[in-house]
Amino acid sequence: MKALAPDNLCACHSGQPYCRCCGPWHQGENAPNAEKLMRSRYAAYAMGLEDYLLKTWHPATRPAVLKLEDEKSIKWLSLQIIRHEETEPDHALVEFIARYKINGKAEKLHEISRFICKAGHWLYVDGDFVEP
């Protein structure tokens, strides 16, 4: 796990200190909306927080394990939120582009993700890749 000092900039590229951005969600507070959860999940990938990722994944679609330790060759570079849309009071979409390098080769992940809020907890359900 890659730790961040509380005053370091957050790994989600919001420009905010970690302690005022994704830090509280990683420490157990509920993200207030799907966009904040998406940012915190991106930061969790960048920081290797597998438990957090699994905890914030809907049980119906959650894998048993992620094995982030096997993905050490991935370097997360940036996150761009394109849109955040609440489709119903407890359902939302977040479209984003995440840029990364794998074995030195630049890549991007463009996805429209679906989220649901259950008992005050936003959860990632699944997503569709957007092809260029």
Q: What is the pLDDT of residue 15?
A: 94
Rounded-to-integer distance, Cα 7 and Cα 34, Å = 24
In this structure, the chain runs to a length of: 132
What CA dihedral angle connects 111, 123, 73 and 2, to 10 degrees?
Answer: 140
Is the domain 18-129 a CATH 3.10.450.50 member? Answer: yes
Q: Over the stretch 79-90, which tens digit does the pLDDT of each residue have?
A: 999 999 999 999
Whether residue 1 is predicted with pLDDT greater than 70 in this model: the reply is: no
Give residue-wise pLDDT tens across range 94-132: 999 999 999 999 999 999 999 999 999 999 999 999 987
State how far the Cα of 100 lies from the Cα of 61, in Å rounded to an integer.
24
- For the entire predicted model, the pTM comes to 0.93
pLDDT score for 69: 82
